[in-house]
Amino acid sequence: MQTRSLGSSNIQIVPLVLGGNVFGWTIDAPTSFRVLDAFVDRGFNFIDTADVYSRWLRGNRGGESETILGQWFKKSGTRDKVVLATKVGNDMGDDKQGLRKKYILEEVEASLKRLQTDHIDLYQSHKDDESTPLEETLEAYQQLIQQGKVRIIGASNYKGDRLTKAIEVARQHNLPVYQTLQPEYNLYDRQDYEQDLAPVAEKFHLGVIPYFSLASGFLTGKYKTVEDTKGKNRGAHVEKYFDARGRKTLEALDEISKQTHAKQASIALAWLLAQPTITAPIASATSTDQLESLFAAVDLKLDGDSLDKLTQASAY
């Protein structure tokens, strides 16, 4: 199976990331274990989570996803087969958030404990913290890398200018450089990434692992109308896509699906994988059946006409 490097590092990943946001949210631990087992059994190796997953669910406090992953690592003995990514910085309650050095050094210990591991392969700033000097944040990561608790670092939800500045500060002060970027990017949500972030990713050779790769399920074709989104876990996120451009995008996906006999989810992910700056899209699955369309995307090579049709249908 083909692999790609994460940024300038020597970490090799199969170019599909399993999103851990659903663990402890829309699926319980036993179902999560089945999904994780199936993912690794097929030779895939990159899993992404965050300390804050899934604090938004009533009764949760954050850390639920990491805890389930830690339980799975202990049960399955597969930690050495996985490139593990998690994040720090989002609001964990009780004023626990941000990218100050003291907080990062405390929060990484909580993540390591929940994950039942001694190191994190990719530790990411979940969002920019303009109240903390960039140098201070990077010094925290330098300490963790020196201690062997983190291998490389990445940024999520940064603007292009701030990401550029963070990389320049790191180089000026001989501090760890962000190797990856995790932005929102999919066949519909294109403009911010393509205009602001893609040039930065290309300039600094960043590994790009976009989230919401399937637009909260919209690009899978499971929602035919706005009414179909009502009462669903991500329904509120999906409603916005049902405009003229969104419908044109779905029509193009449906047409190509009929021509290739591939699922719409596979096609949407394959389009992402064909974009020159994209390393591996993140996608979640709530069942082993859903994984199949994700797996298929890695080997699906869309021809030029299909890629152009999708790009034009979703043009902003």
Q: What confidence tens digit (pLDDT) does each residue in 167-189 have?
A: 999 999 999 999 999 999 999 99
Instruction: State how many domains the chain has.
Output: 1
Instruction: Evaluate if residue 110 carries a pLDDT over 90.
Output: yes
Active site residue 211: no
Q: Is 52 exposed, middle or buried (0-12, 13-18, 19+ CB in 10 A)?
A: buried
Q: Is residue 307 part of a domain?
A: no
**Would you state the torsion angle of the CA atoms of residues 216, 220, 222, 227, taken in this order, to the nearest 10 degrees?**
50
Q: H helices of 133-287, where?
A: 134-146, 160-172, 191-192, 198-204, 235-238, 244-260, 264-273
Determine what percent of the chain is predicted with pLDDT higher than 90. 94
Average predicted confidence (pLDDT) for the chain: 96
Q: Is residue 289 part of a domain?
A: no
Q: Which of 53, 103, 185, 241 is catalytic?
A: 53
Task: Provide the pLDDT confidence category of residue 234 given band limits of 50, 70 and 90.
Answer: low
Q: What's the predicted TM-score (pTM) here? A: 0.96
| Alpha-carbon span 30 to 166, nearest angstrom | 40
The token pair that represents 225 in the structure block: 């109308």
Q: What is the pLDDT of residue 51?
A: 98
Beta pairing, strands 12-13 & 4-5? antiparallel
Encode pLDDT of 120-142 as tens digits: 999 999 999 999 999 999 999 99
Q: What is the pLDDT of residue 225?
A: 82
Q: What is the pLDDT of residue 131?
A: 98
Q: Is residue 275 part of a domain?
A: no
Q: Is residue 309 part of a domain?
A: no
Q: Is residue 9 part of a domain?
A: yes
End-to-end CA distance of the chain: 34
**Would you state the torsion angle of the CA atoms of residues 245, 221, 29, 236, taken in this order, to the nearest 10 degrees?**
40
Instruction: Evaluate if residue 159 carries a pLDDT over 70.
Output: yes
Encode pLDDT of 257-300 as tens digits: 999 999 999 999 999 999 999 999 999 999 999 999 999 999 99
Task: Provide the pLDDT confidence category of residue 232 given band limits of 50, 70 and 90.
Answer: low
Q: Is residue 89 part of a domain?
A: yes
Other residues' Cβ atoms within 10 Å of the Cβ of residue 195: 11
Nearest residue to 222 via CA among 212, 213, 232: 232
Q: Is residue 253 part of a domain?
A: no
Beta-bridged to residue 83, according to DSSP, are 46
Encode pLDDT of 28-47 as tens digits: 999 999 999 999 999 999 99
Q: What is the pLDDT of residue 233?
A: 61
Instruction: Evaluate if residue 231 carries a pLDDT over 70.
Output: no
Q: Is residue 219 part of a domain?
A: no
Q: What is the pLDDT of residue 292?
A: 96
The token pair that represents 233 in the structure block: 């876990």
**Residue 76 sits in a domain of what CATH number?**
3.20.20.100
Helix (H), strand (E) at residue 87 = strand 83-88
Domain that residue 93 falls in: 4-182
Determine what percent of the chain is predicted with pLDDT higher than 70. 98
Mean local confidence (pLDDT), 303-311: 98
Q: Is 45 exposed, middle or buried (0-12, 13-18, 19+ CB in 10 A)?
A: buried
Q: How many helices and strands (H and E) does the chain possess?
A: 12, 10
The token pair that represents 161 in the structure block: 């200018």
Beta pairing, strands 83-88 & 12-13? unpaired
Rg of the chain on CA atoms, in Å? 19
